[in-house]
């Protein structure tokens, strides 16, 4: 049976918090892009073409930042995995050395 991955608590929490905050920023950029596209043509000084262009750029930036967030989170999780030395030290402290 495959053993579950074990993570360093502080590094995992930092990765989770960074990913959460970045995901919120990404979602907000997508929201702003959508609202900008929907508001195009509502006033004569803001033509629909400009709204679609600017809203599309904001939405694209939000999607790109979301992709970056996902990739960075996966990289941070790999960095948060316990090293063999940390696993051995942790198993020694808890008494789970694999002996019956």
pLDDT tens digits for 34-86? 999 998 878 888 888 989 999 999 999 999 999 999 999 999 999 998 888 88
Predicted TM-score (pTM) of the model is 0.79
Residue 26's pLDDT band, with cuts at 50, 70 and 90, is very high
- The answer for 95, left when phi > 0, alpha when psi is -120 to 50, beta otherwise, is left
H helices present in the chain, as ranges: 9-38, 48-80, 84-94
């Amino acid at each position: 049976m495959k053993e579950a991955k074990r993570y360093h608590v502080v590094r995992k929490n930092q990765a989770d918090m960074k990913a959460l905050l970045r995901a919120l920023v990404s979602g907000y950029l997508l929201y702003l892009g959508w609202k900008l596209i929907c508001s195009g043509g509502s006033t004569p000084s803001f033509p629909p073409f400009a709204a679609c262009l600017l809203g599309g750029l904001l939405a694209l930036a939000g999607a790109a930042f979301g992709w970056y967030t996902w990739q960075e989170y996966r990289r941070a999780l790999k960095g948060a995995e316990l090293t063999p030395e940390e696993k051995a030290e942790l198993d020694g402290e808890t008494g789970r050395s694999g002996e019956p």
